[in-house]
Amino acid sequence: MKALYALFLLALLSACSSSQVIRDSEYKYSEAAFKFSNPQKSLEEFPTKEQGGFVTSVEKSWLGFWADGKDPSALQKQTKTLEDRRYISISREAEYFFMSESEEGYIPAEHEIILAHIISAMYYMRAEKWSEARVEVKQASYFLENFFRMDQKHFDDPALRIWIAALWAALGEWNEAQVDLRRAYEMTRDPDILPLLKGTTPPKVLSLAFDGTGPQVTWEFGNPQPTFDEKDSEPALDITFSTLPWYRRHQERNSAIRDKISKSNYMSQYYGIQLSKGGQKTLGTVTSTTIRVAGVAVAAAVIAAGVYILSSASGSGEALAYPVAAGMWIGKTMWKEGDNVDNTVNQSVMETDQRGREDLKTYRFVRFLPSWISLTDTIVVTATGKDVPFQAPNSQTTVHFVQRY
């Protein structure tokens, strides 16, 4: 009995905990609004759970930036929290991951930590706080450049590199921008980057374009992790990189850090659904069978005793003329009622299954981020997007940050 009570308590606690997590399906209205170029509406439709958490703070800050927001305090609280906690690294076959737990227990992916600083920098630029913006960009660069020894493989990404390069250019530090551009070239060998590496004179104009709204998330029931796929078309700009590697890296890192825990938690919920379905089916079968058997028994008794039953089906109140007819009517009616119980239970089981599947479709990561990031030395025109230009007083380059949908 104690073991059963403990199991019940554990299930209850798990249910309470998971009920506070935003399910994938709860994002649908907010994601749809952002996809159709309405970041303000996206914020209005944003899920109400996880207030002040790392994931929602980064998501709302990104949406808020494109909705002309000026308050990055929630995001800056997150970056400060992460700075106060010690980063640790783990290795997996010479692949290095770094991690730091946020205040509410979420472990951000590497690109999410970097982007928290990048987005903070963009807010500071909007407020013309150039020195504060520089600190944030420097912090983002730190994670890509110096977190581990140079002889060890660790996280790096060309899309983040060109994003940081654009920020350096807007701050008037073209030499720093070229460091990141050179690293992007070394990773990709994209020849379109080479003109930006020649000489020391910065371009007059740069555009950093953000296309799409993140990956397509696909679930296979029974698998504790979804698959991420590209859902937005590649833009026709010279220097363009997909952000899909961010999410696949996120999965690799999760597997290295919490594979057994996440799979155990997921599968306990999965088997809970199966158990619930099985229990409902068993109870329904017993109930419907009992009704059918009772119907047969009552019908036999009616026929044997010669009892007259009033017909409620016709509504006429007339007595059934013969006991045999009465018995057959009762048996048929109760057998049909047994079928109705079966149908009702099957529908309930299907609904339980569907609810369970939706609840299991929960993989926490920062959404709304671009699918593609592109850099060009021309102005990018967008019909439905938004263009936010930045140029520090000491910069020779106007950098246009362009969100396209």
Please indicate, yes or no, whether residues 79 and 171 belong to a single structural domain of this protein.
yes
Per-residue pLDDT band for 218 (boundaries 50, 70, 90) equals confident
Q: Say what percent of the chain tops pLDDT 90.
A: 44
Please indicate, yes or no, whether residues 219 and 85 belong to a single structural domain of this protein.
yes
**Domain for residue 384, yes or no?**
yes
Please indicate, yes or no, whether residues 239 and 368 belong to a single structural domain of this protein.
yes
Q: Which residue has the higher pLDDT, 296 or 230?
A: 230
The Cα 35–Cα 368 span in angstroms is: 9
Please indicate, yes or no, whether residues 383 and 276 belong to a single structural domain of this protein.
no
Instruction: Return the number of other C-beta atoms located less than 10 Å from residue 84's C-beta.
Output: 9
**Tokens standing for 402?**
């362009």
Specify the number of domains making up the chain.
Answer: 2
**Domain for residue 4, yes or no?**
no
**Domain for residue 16, yes or no?**
no
- The pLDDT of 167-171, averaged and rounded, is 99
Please indicate, yes or no, whether residues 262 and 337 belong to a single structural domain of this protein.
no
Q: Is 368 a residue whose pLDDT tops 70?
A: yes
The Cα 223–Cα 154 span in angstroms is: 27
**Domain for residue 2, yes or no?**
no
**Domain for residue 34, yes or no?**
yes
Please indicate, yes or no, whether residues 366 and 341 belong to a single structural domain of this protein.
no
Please indicate, yes or no, whether residues 93 and 210 belong to a single structural domain of this protein.
yes
CB environment 194-233: b (16+ within 10 A), e (fewer)? eebeeeeebbebbbbbbbbbbbebebeeeebbbebeeebe
Please indicate, yes or no, whether residues 182 and 294 belong to a single structural domain of this protein.
no
Which range has the worst mean pLDDT, 79-93, 101-115, 379-393? 79-93
Spatial contact of 245 and 239, defined as CB atoms under 8 Å apart? no
Please indicate, yes or no, whether residues 108 and 232 belong to a single structural domain of this protein.
yes
Residue 214's SS3 state is coil
- The pLDDT of 317-324, averaged and rounded, is 46
- The pLDDT of 361-370, averaged and rounded, is 88
Please indicate, yes or no, whether residues 201 and 330 belong to a single structural domain of this protein.
no
Contacts of 320 (CB under 8 A, 6+ apart): 308, 309, 310, 311, 326, 329
- pLDDT given for residue 227 in this prediction: 86
State the pTM of this model: 0.71
> Of 328, 344, 360, which marks where a domain is finished?
360
Please indicate, yes or no, whether residues 216 and 314 belong to a single structural domain of this protein.
no
CA-CA-CA-CA torsion sign (54, 59, 64, 70): positive
- The pLDDT of 207-218, averaged and rounded, is 93
**Domain for residue 54, yes or no?**
yes
Supply the range of the domain harboring residue 241.
22-270+362-404
The Cα 258–Cα 262 span in angstroms is: 6
Q: What is the pLDDT of residues 28-48, one digit of tens each?
A: 999 999 999 999 999 999 999
Residue 403's SS3 state is strand
Please indicate, yes or no, whether residues 295 and 347 belong to a single structural domain of this protein.
yes
Q: Is 274 a residue whose pLDDT tops 60?
A: no
Crossing angle between the packed helical segments 244-305 and 110-126, to the nearest 10 degrees: 110
Per-residue pLDDT band for 2 (boundaries 50, 70, 90) equals very low
**Domain for residue 368, yes or no?**
yes
**Domain for residue 65, yes or no?**
yes
- The pLDDT of 121-131, averaged and rounded, is 98
Q: Which of 116-120, 139-143, 230-234, 309-313 has the highest mean pLDDT?
A: 116-120
Q: What is the pLDDT of residues 49-101, one digit of tens each?
A: 988 899 999 999 999 999 999 998 999 898 887 776 655 554 544 444 555 55
- pLDDT given for residue 257 in this prediction: 61
- pLDDT given for residue 403 in this prediction: 97
- The pLDDT of 259-280, averaged and rounded, is 46
